[in-house]
Amino acid sequence: MSLLVERLALEPSSETITHSPQRIVIIRPNHRLGNILLLTPLIAAIEKRWPNARVDLIAGGRAAAICQSFHCIRACIETPEPILKLPFDMAFRRSVRHQYDLAILVDPTSQSAHLIARIIDAPITIIPQAHHDPHMALAALSALNEQLDVPLPTPFPRVSLRLTPEEKAHGQHRLMERLGFSDRPAHLIGLYPFANKGRDYPIEWWHSLIEALRHAMPDARLIEILPAHGETLLDGTDGAFLALELRDFAAQLSALDAVIATDGGVMHLACAADTLTHGLFKVTRAEVYAPYGGGNRGWAWTDAQPHVVANSLREALDTPNESA
């Protein structure tokens, strides 16, 4: 079966895009929060370049909530499982319409994405290749840009949920209320230590980071961001919070001045909430998944000494417009 899927893999189109496509599909059949958030620079660039285009997003997870503020999105389409049933799922085949002017396959290693692209059969299919930018937020954008007659403006858009001012104000109010702060501290720093699949840093490392942050920014309040199970992992913080609804969670993250988080969905959500974000990497590659845009950065395990991370965060907060 895997050999059959491999034989269905598409080659990218080579022709230059000189027209304005009206119907575009982005193919990213993945349910992980971070992978869907990393599509927002691509969606923003398409919306700006072709304001009259309508975009369908074939993805999983909470794509509709993520794309709520992108007016170009016509539909978020869930992919059926298992992937080998895709060619025979008539409801899915009808939903993707076979009528797109342009298809963008985001992850060239995804077998299901190649199957979907075969079903769609668009006249132009964009697929990132090895020479394109390796970052997951930029690979498809780089591939698209390479085939445009007039390149996209740079820098490319950052990862962003496009929270409204009302959402951000409500998020700040809820966070201050939950933490019991009557006045906003000079700096609010969020810490998210939870991770699985070997991505977590030792709790001792986090406690050393807390000590380093206290030294580097004595006026900061350190807030633990809790995982879904709601259990605290850290000692010595000034409070903790948890939110389960996606945009409400992002809005509360936007009320923080900065977030230090292990690689994962919460890290990307903080980044998408326009909060300065430093991500901690251990088994995945920072050059592929680091928080993208603004003064955000990723740290490899070998470089992430707690005092170095703390001082770097302080410098980023002190640099004008770095976190914007």
Question: Residue 2: in which H helix or E strand, if any?
Answer: helix 2-7
- For domain 165-318, give the CATH superfamily: Glycogen Phosphorylase B; (3.40.50.2000)
Q: Which residue has the higher pLDDT, 159 or 111?
A: 159
Q: Tokens standing for 212?
A: 């380093």
pLDDT confidence of residue 89: 77
pLDDT at 286 over 70: yes
pLDDT confidence of residue 78: 83
pLDDT at 323 over 50: no
Of 63-67, 142-146, 301-305, 318-322, which range is least confident? 318-322
Domain-wise residue ranges, the chain: 2-146, 165-318
Arithmetic mean of pLDDT, 288-301: 94
Report the SS3 class of residue 179.
helix
Whether 2-146 shares its CATH topology with 165-318 is answered: yes
Strands 258-262 and 187-192: parallel
Rounded CA gap, 86 and 67, in Å? 24
Beta bridge partners of 102: 24, 124
Rounded CA gap, 101 and 21, in Å? 6
Q: Tokens standing for 155?
A: 């820098």
pLDDT in tens, 64-89: 999 999 999 999 988 777 777 777 77
> Considering the entire predicted model, what is its pTM?
0.93
Mean predicted lDDT score pLDDT of the chain: 92
Q: What is the dihedral of CA 76, 41, 52, 11, to 10 degrees?
A: -80
pLDDT in tens, 225-284: 999 999 999 999 999 999 999 999 999 999 999 999 999 999 999 999 999 999 999 999
pLDDT at 184 over 60: yes
Q: Tokens standing for 115?
A: 């199957």
Q: What percent of the chain has pLDDT over 90?
A: 79
Beta bridge partners of 17: 148
**In the sheet where 54-59 sits, what is the strand order?**
73-77, 54-59, 23-28, 102-105, 124-126
Arithmetic mean of pLDDT, 97-122: 90
Of 205, 168, 209, the C-alpha closest to 190 is 209
Of 7-11, 187-191, 199-203, which range is least confident? 7-11
Arithmetic mean of pLDDT, 127-152: 96
> May I ask the CATH architecture of the domain 2-146?
3-Layer(aba) Sandwich (3.40)
